[in-house]
A and B are shown apart, each in its own frame.
Chain A
Amino acid sequence: MNFPILSSLILLPVIGALFLFFTKDKNGNNLTAKYVSLFTTIVNFLISIYLWISFDQSTSSFQFIEDREWINGFINYKVGVDGISILFIILTTFITLICIISVNNTIKVRLRDFLIAILIMESFMIGVFCALDLVVFYLFFEAGLIPMFLIIGIWGGPKRVYSAFKFFLYTLLGSVLMLVAIISIYWISGTTDVMKLYELGIDAKYQNLLWLAFFSSFAVKTPMWPVHTWLPDAHVEAPTAGSVLLAAILLKMAGYGFIRFSLGLFPIASEIFTPLIYTLSVIAIVFTSLIALMQEDMKKLIAYSSVAHMGFVTLGIFTIQQQGIEGSIIQMISHGLVSAALFLCVGVVYDRMHSRLISSYGGIVTIIPKYSVLFMLFTLAALGLPGTSGFIGEFLILMGAFKDNFIVAVIASLGVILGAAYMLWLYKRVVFGKLINTDLIKMVDLNKSEYFILTCLAVPTLFFGFYPDPLINTIEVSVNDLINTYNANLISK
């Protein structure tokens, strides 16, 4: 029996949170809590890096598998990783670490409780990415709602109650149908073990309905147009660290779910519904990009850009091309880094000026130059400039799309131009131009921890932009195998 490395990844944050529970919160300033949570997340990050190093890239089978009996003869607690999920686990541990560091600047009240919520959230998110049983997956997927609801509701902005409710109820409504589908799969196939289901396959006549049930959950979570409306609200009202978690990781759960479950379990239905996904993705890309152009609130603009970027992701996944799926995964990782950084950037100016309106800024480049440079870098990464990780993702997705469907690819390419338009216009209005608002003069540049966080995010963005091989090598075999099984299933039925 090997050391249960995945379970320890899941459990460690919970243990950290338990430890925090017994510390005292004095005037919202709690050094012990900060250090404990920092320590926990660093250790977790290192473990996940170790996981990546010892991961065997030459095989597509699941590794580090743990299989324990959980509900008698019914459901097993089963976790494991393959090339696809391991990257998301590292993204999760990395972004959580960034969040914990950023908390220093943003959270003023009930710091300890906030850290507990973030740590619990981390363990649920890791659980989602390594669950190999549908019920275990559902458990982690849904459980994440509780801490996120509290993060938005307790530490959020003025309209936080509305946003928190909307977030919770939308996601729950989408997910309950998935639960029906999961239980139905158990009665149809006799198991909810993903690996066994991959081998057995699911009877073609059930696939369409089951696919739709899973889709209803993932579409809300992605979010796809037209069920994306919770996202701008939740993003705007959530505290910075909450927005970061939401954009960087929670949205990726759905993309991951599409790859792992929709494609993996229901190939026939996926083939049938590909036009639906294409249509919704293209609408998301073009329509929400246009909406983003009109936004006056910086956070809202980035939230809409997230919807557009996730549109690219869903488009890429359902091309069922090697490039398309690889591009989607890289786009998700890249978006995880870049959107996190952009929300942190907005957080930086918000902490100083307490305004997120674009119109209240302008001409800050001479006042806070360091900030302006880093903000520029992430803006360019968001619009997919070559040399940043955003480019690799979008490029591969569009390549895959051109192979599969020319018209869709052309319209999606339009989205790239629109993306450049709203991001650059945002940057221009905030950073350049005349300094009209005289209060801005008093702004101070990045402090040490902000500088550190943004640099931490900038390094991988640039590194993977120039040299994406580590990512591609990790996912290549798994994606290849996924596509082969997918095609084999289609032919055999």
Chain B
Amino acid sequence: MENLNLVLPEIFVSLSIMFLLVLGVFKNDSSKLIFNISLLVLLITATITLNETSNIDHTTLFNNSVVIDHMSSLMKIITLVGAFLVLVISFNYLKTFKIFKIEYPILILSSVLGMMVMISSNDLMVFYIGLELQSLALYVLATFNRDQLKSSEAGLKYFVLSALSSGLLLYGCSLIYGFSGSTNFDVISNQLNSSNYVLTFGIVFILVGLAFKISAVPFHMWAPDVYEGSPTSVTLFFTMVPKIAALTVFIRFLYVPFLNLIDQWQMIIIFLSIASMLFGAIAAIGQTNIKRLIAYSSIGHIGYTLAGLATGSNEGIQSSIVYITIYVIMNLAFFSCLLMLKRNNQYYEDIEDLSGLSKNHPLLSLSFLVILFSLAGIPPLAGFFAKFYIFTAVLEQSMYFLAIVGLLSTVIAAFYYLRIIKIIYFDKEKEKYDDDHSLWLKFSLTFSTILILLYFIFPSQLIEVVSRINII
């Protein structure tokens, strides 16, 4: 009998989703209740994950198709906490747009369930199931503000392109199955005696599918449109949470079955990384909408994360995980700021709307300042350390070209971050924004900003947690 305790978090979330669905049907006006229960579910799941898996080094379940190790538990906890914070800070936003419905928390819960399955997957089939569960929930979330044209357009675009990439991914899976005789990661890795070109095709197709999910160049086209069109709280969710799960799968897929074929995929990852870093930096310069800008910025940041993956070393993987963790915190802080730009029940999302913010809202502007400099990677803020770890890992493998291109693109990227700071601090002020923000929004902003600001005092803690992850 399998030890079901280890998948207790997943079981708990699925049962909760079913319960909440039923509750939503039978009870009128239950959106607030369901919202609160979902928060509770996320918290409890995070606690269970922390407890159940903290002392487990590496275990597999269900014929080796599910794996529980340090990476899976850490990534699950980040996902759960991220989803929790997204939910709490989107409360007021949803109310303003009158889309505060029971489906919202339930969809978020089901996409989180999909991500948890993805994170733990050790088999192509399990991975695909998780991915689809996650994606289907995300399509609906993107169109959640269905009375708005842009939102529906975003969802449709996302759905069509994502379905295409899923198709490619499945085709890759079938090729790999055909030539190794198994979908299980461990078995595949044992079957790889001679490098086979068709197998490489399979890897490429799967990489394309995964690159699409994390919006790496050249599979990024959907990101700016979807980010702009979706409701801001959903955009926040898009930029943070699905990337964690996709990155985990990325790591596991490359490093468990195909580590021996590193010569075949390393160049692809380097290309994706360089293209994303440069494109993200250059394309963001001309943007006028903050959400579009942050989409390009997230493309750039994914480029750095991939640079860590391209190294083929444990240090590289660890640095990627540190990077994505710090990136999630910075994004949370940035969107918390964005959600505060509200006046007369309307949210503002043009860069020009930030003009002269520092005169009327000194504290909010200060947070913006810290976050933007951190995103630009200027020391002593957290963003610098994230980049520092990545480039340390990259240079350990003597990949000088990648490191230099990456650092030069930080200079280009610094330009558009500075432009926002310029608009906030140097330009003429506009009308005041509302000050009555929810406590949670204030909390998440203060908390994440302080974390970014003071990261340099305790840089070792995060490293210590991440350094337990040994995939190779």
Contact = CB atoms under 8 A, between A and B. Distances in A.
Interface string B377-404: 0111000100010011001101010011
Contacts of B378: 142-143, 145-146, 172
B373 A146 contact: yes
B407 interface: yes
Given A135-B388, A169-B418, A172-B410, 15 more contacts: A70-B460, A72-B460, A139-B456, A153-B422, A154-B425, A160-B426, A161-B422, A161-B426, A176-B408, A179-B407, A180-B395, A183-B391, A184-B395, A184-B400, A187-B395
B460 A172 contact: no
B182 to A, nearest CB: 38
Nearest to B461: A72
A172 B387 CA distance: 14
B463 A72 contact: yes
7 contacts: A69-B460, A72-B463, A138-B379, A146-B378, A150-B369, A153-B425, A177-B407
Contact of A139 (B379, B403, B418): B379
Interface of A: 69-72, 135, 138-139, 142-143, 145-146, 149-150, 153-154, 160-161, 164-165, 168-169, 172-173, 176-177, 179-180, 183-184, 186-187
Which applies to chain A's interface (DSSP): helix, strand, loop or mixed? helix
Interface residues of B, number: 31
A149 B391 contact: no
Contacts of A184: 395, 400
Which applies to chain B's interface (DSSP): helix, strand, loop or mixed? helix
B81 to A, nearest CB: 24
A180 B418 contact: no
A75 to B, nearest CB: 9
Nearest 6 CB-CB pairings of A with B: A176-B407, A72-B460, A139-B379, A183-B395, A142-B379, A173-B411
A184 B388 CA distance: 12
Contacts of B414: 168-169, 172
B271 interface: no
Nearest to A142: B379
Given A145-B378, A153-B422, A165-B415, A180 B463 contact: no
A71 B459 contact: yes
A180 B421 CA distance: 27
Contacts of A139: 379-380, 384, 456
B143 to A, nearest CB: 39
Contacts of A164: 422, 426
B410 A71 contact: no
A150 B379 CA distance: 15
Contacts of A187: 395-396, 398
A145 B388 CA distance: 18
Contacts of A179: 388, 391, 407
A161 B425 CA distance: 10
Interface of B: 369, 373, 378-380, 384, 388, 391-392, 395-396, 398, 400, 403-404, 407-408, 410-411, 414-415, 418, 421-422, 425-426, 456, 459-460, 463-464
A150 B425 contact: yes
A165 B418 contact: yes
A154 B378 CA distance: 19
B411 A71 contact: no
A135 B387 CA distance: 13
Contacts of B425: 150, 153-154
B396 A180 contact: no
Contact of B407 (A145, A180, A186): A180
Interface centre among B379, B408, B463 (most CB of A within 10 A): B379
B395 A154 contact: no
A384 to B, nearest CB: 37
B421 to A, nearest CB: 8
B380 A176 contact: no
B415 A72 contact: no
A172 B411 contact: yes
Contacts of B410: 172, 176
Interface centre among A69, A72, A153, A180 (most CB of B within 10 A): A180
Contacts of B408: 173, 176
A70 B385 CA distance: 12
Contacts of A154: 425-426
Nearest to A154: B425
Interface centre among A71, A135, A149, A187 (most CB of B within 10 A): A71
A184 B396 CA distance: 8
A168 B395 CA distance: 25
A149 B415 CA distance: 12
A70 B388 CA distance: 14
Contacts of B418: 149, 165, 168-169
A193 B379 CA distance: 19
A145 B421 CA distance: 14
A438 B456 CA distance: 57
Contacts of A186: 392
Contacts of A177: 404, 407
A179 B387 CA distance: 11
Nearest to B376: A172
Nearest to B419: A165
A5 B97 CA distance: 56
Nearest to B407: A176
Contacts of B400: 180, 184
B101 to A, nearest CB: 42
Nearest to B425: A154
A150 B426 CA distance: 9
A173 B398 CA distance: 21
A138 B396 CA distance: 19
Given A72-B460, A172-B414, A183 B392 contact: yes
B459 A165 contact: no
Contact of A143 (B379, B421, B464): B379
Contacts of B404: 177, 180
